[in-house]
Structure 1
Amino acid sequence: IERHEPEVFSRIATVFGSYDYINWRLTGERAVEQNWALEAGFVDVSTHRIDDDLVALAHIPRSAVPRKIASHEILGSVSAKTADETGLMAGTPVVGGAADMIASALGAGVAKTGDVLLKFGGSVDILIATDQIKPDPRMYLDYHLVPGLFMPNGCMSTGGSGLNWFVRNFAGGEMAAAQAEGISVHQRLDALAAERPAGADGLIILPYFLGEKTPIHDPAARGVIYGLTLSHDIGHVWRALLEAYAFAIAHHVEVLNDMGHRTERYLASDGGSSSKVWMQIVADVLQKPVQRLTGHPGSCIGAAWTAAIGVGLTDDWSGVSGFVSFADRLDPDLRKADIYRDGYRRYRDLYARLSAHGATRAGSSS
């Protein structure tokens, strides 16, 4: 904006996040929630305060960045004007709020150091609870909703969206067969993948269909299907896709461990976790048990519990675990450890070699 619309930039009065804006409209009070301030680069992590020099790097007046508040902190109450406009009760307290994935992690019971949430939605999120703050450019960093804890996290550009893209474009025959069998196309493809061997007979996929966010931060990266032969079929490709996202999770875990974080317990939530085949592959690649959640309400329960803490209905952050329901736990198949250790090495090596020659870039003729 400063470069292309300097007149607009010069009139900036307040800089804050989307839910901070909603809170301002509700209460008339300006504040910036702690994680928006942190992700914007305004917070000195050694003091946990908004730093004037960091704000100045963005050429933003310090007066434009309001006070930082915790997610559970009350910043005001619903104004009479807003009550008339919305039907909300005037005087209702409003707390800072939180990003959806952070609230979702709390709602999944990720509240102890070493707890990891694997969130299988349109993209795949990896979030860990820790009492150590260790900034690293490979991962995002947020405050945990529980005071004193932090939440390093990663987010892939795709996940379920990549699987659905494959279904739409290449699985027409399986869609028809699944309909005839009275099952979903994903269930049919999972069944085919389960019949194929671990490692998909040498097929490796880089799932960078929209570039990639963490941990490689490469928007120009592109998806790759490597090792395809006439002996491979759709079951092999589907299995290789599931394995690709499992390898990407393993990459995040490797980075977290390299940062000094212990990954102790893995919880899986959201739509993709309903695939037992996929979750078993993840367990086999990580060689760690993966606990599936059932009926997980996503960020809703985490947000509600944060509000309850804020207004004094409870002071027990661990109480949210009472709303967590577990499905089955997928234990790793030790017999597949060597296969997936080699597959992960090949997965990492493939991107390194191709990116060195620009071969994963859009429009590359390499």
Structure 2
Amino acid sequence: MPRNAVVGVDIGTSSSKGVLVDAGSGAVLRSAVREHAVDRPGPGRFEMEAGVWWEEFTGLARELTAGLGPDRAVAAVGISGMGPCVLLTDDGDTPLRPAVLYGVDTRATAQIDRLNDELGADEIVRRCGSALSSQAAGAKIAWVADEEPAVFARARRLYMPSSWLVRQLTGAYVLDHHSASQCTPLYDTNALNWYGPWAGRIAPGLELPPLRWSGEAAGTLTPAAAAATGLPAGIPVTTGTIDAWAEAVSVGAQGPGDLMLMYGTTMFLVHTVPDAALLTSPALWSTVGALPGTRNLAGGMATSGAVTSWLRELFGSAGYGELLRLAEESGPGANGLLMLPYFAGERTPLMDPLARGVVAGLSLSHTRGDLYRAALEGTAHGVRHNIEAIEAAGGDIRRVVAVGGGTQGALWTRIVSDVTGRPQELRATTIGASYGGALLAAQLVGDARIDDWNPVAETVEPDPAATARYDELYALYRELYPASAGVVHALAARQHR
């Protein structure tokens, strides 16, 4: 009998990643990546063509399964993707425009203001769990309706990267509950369903998808999808979810008190609270979890790895290894530099789409290593700010689990532990969302358990001396935003002209 394997694929902001995993042990047998860029058609706007998602999935699936011998059989597929995104199609599933991406896209500020006035900001939080922000997919739908009425008049279905792939693979039109809960104000987090009165008002004519939990089977692979991907027809495909929640699955961070910290293009935090506790905060997102019986307080920084990538591009030939070495040499405090990493606005806890990056303390003596260190430390300060907001909202963080590409190289995770004063667990496999998708796929066909698949490998402990030094810098970090906001907002307004 061949041994079962599962495929997990995640559509991310800068790349799509896939893994082939042994369904019994969790061992990664193969991995593959397709890098891509998002479109930026104007200030504050981030878009992507849906065709890229399917093209990259088919390429990844074929690469991961090419030449598999008779001892291996792909038994299931797990999906995840960036989000919440808004891809609108006509009744024949033809995309009507590029997908509007998640909270990095800040175009819908006027719609947020209008919906708050019409529906009531407090009532939105009470029913939907979260205040309207650039993260809210419902506001982006309203933007299309307002600004592109001819497009919206033809719109019949709503997709995100994960649900679009599910549609191509199985023919099913479904969305997971967690992704729906980020479609504020269309989803009622108390009733666990679309809220008809507001959905009909904001998205008239849209056939909103039926809802399932992330680990449920959406359907089985069609013969046409099998021909396109090289995967076996008839195998189950998960409903899938947004990437950060699949990341949490990949490291077992779904218990009450857990905080998943995702190091990626953006920094994401997902704190699990007891199911009975619908905690809300205007500075955070309160969502339904990826799995039944879970709820989350979540935060997200608009940039993190995106800033380090930008610096690497500016520095030319310098690779990440060299920059990490130089940042290590710079030492705590980056020789007197302090960075606000708000290069694409900021999501939580500021909820300020007009925030911008600030580097304070520059002198002619500062080096590439100092700037790179300041970027790592700036994101760490942002993590601490979010953690404080979570606890202020009633969260009880008992364990921090780190995941994502930024955990490689040790320096960034060490800086975050030093700045926050909190240890972080690192599991043996930190690939992230694609691995979480594979785990959910394996659970469709067997008894896969995270502690067997992916045990804790190490714990990053904070250095008390470094934490004391960072306490002083964090106080300055918190002062810098209000002190510079007026100037920064005026400059941001010029960028939109």
TM-score (norm 2): 0.64
Change in CA separation of 1:340 and 1:82 when aligned onto 2, cut-off 3 Å: closer
Aligned partner letter, 1:336? A
User: C-alpha distance in 1, partners of 2:178/2:284?
Assistant: 14
Q: 1:48 is matched with which residue?
A: 192
CA distance in 2 between partners of 1:232 and 1:278 (Å): 20
Which residues of structure 1 form unaligned runs of 5+? none
The answer to whether the Cα contact below 8 Å between 1:211 and 1:220 also exists between their aligned partners in 2 is yes
Structure 1 residue matching 2:297: 3-state secondary structure: strand
Do the aligned partners of residues 13 and 169 (structure 1) sit closer, same or farther apart at CA in structure 2, a change above 3 Å counting? closer
1:185 to partner: Cα distance = 1.0
2:362 maps to amino acid: L
Q: Is the 8 A contact 2:189 2:288 kept in 1?
A: no
Q: Determine the C-alpha separation between the residues in 1 that align with 2:169 and 2:431.
A: 25
Question: Is structure 2 residue 494 aligned with structure 1 residue 350?
Answer: no
Q: 1:15 to 1:339 in 2, by over 3 A?
A: same
Whole-angstrom CA distance in 2 between matches of 1:237 and 1:11: 48
Distance 1:218 1:148 in 2: 31
CA distance in 2, matches of 1:206, 1:33: 34
Q: 324, 334, 337: which is aligned to 1:203?
A: 337
Structure 2: gaps spanning 5 or more residues: 1-143
**Hey, what does 1:191 align to over in structure 2?**
328
Is 1:259 the counterpart of 2:403? The answer is no
Whichever structure has more helix as a proportion of its residues is 1
Q: Which of 312, 318, 325 is matched with 1:167 structurally?
A: 312
Most deviating of 286-295 and 100-109? 286-295
Secondary structure, counterpart of 1:129 in structure 2: strand
How far residue 81 of structure 1 moved from its aligned partner, in angstroms, is 4.4
The structure in which a higher percent of residues are strand is 2
2:294 corresponding residue in structure 1: 149
Q: Within 2, Cα distance between the matches of 1:95 and 1:164?
A: 32
Asked whether the 8 Å contact 1:280–1:331 carries over to 2, the reply is: yes
Contact 1:16–1:65 (8 Å) recurs in 2: no
Q: What is the CA distance between 1:143 and its match in structure 2?
A: 3.0
Return the offset for 1:357. 4.5
Deviations 1:45-77 (A, max 9, x none): 111121101212313236x11321111222332
Q: Is the 1:355–1:361 Cα contact (8 Å) retained in structure 2?
A: no
TM value normalised by structure 1: 0.85
| Equivalent residues in 2 for 1:1-366, closer than 5 Å | 1-41=144-184, 42-61=186-205, 64-131=207-274, 132-170=277-315, 175=318, 184-193=321-330, 196=331, 198-230=332-364, 232-309=366-443, 311=444, 313-314=446-447, 319-358=449-488, 361-362=491-492
RMSD of equivalent CA atoms: 2.7
Look up the SS of the partner of 2:145 in the other structure: coil
In 1, the alpha carbon distance for the partners of 2:477 and 2:391 equals 19
CA contact (8 A) 1:269 1:296 kept: yes
How many angstroms apart in 1 are the aligned matches of 2:474 and 2:419? 8
CA shift, 1:84, in A, is 4.9
Distance 1:276 1:133, change over 3 A: same
Partner SS for 1:116: strand
Q: Is the 8 A contact 1:55 1:61 kept in 2?
A: no
Greater gyration radius: 1
Query: How far apart, CA to CA, are the structure 2 residues paired with 1:114 and 1:121?
Result: 22
Question: More displaced, 84-93 or 217-226?
Answer: 84-93
Counterpart Cα distance in 2 of 1:4 and 1:267: 41
Task: After TM superposition, give the deviation of residue 80 of structure 1 in Å.
Answer: 4.1
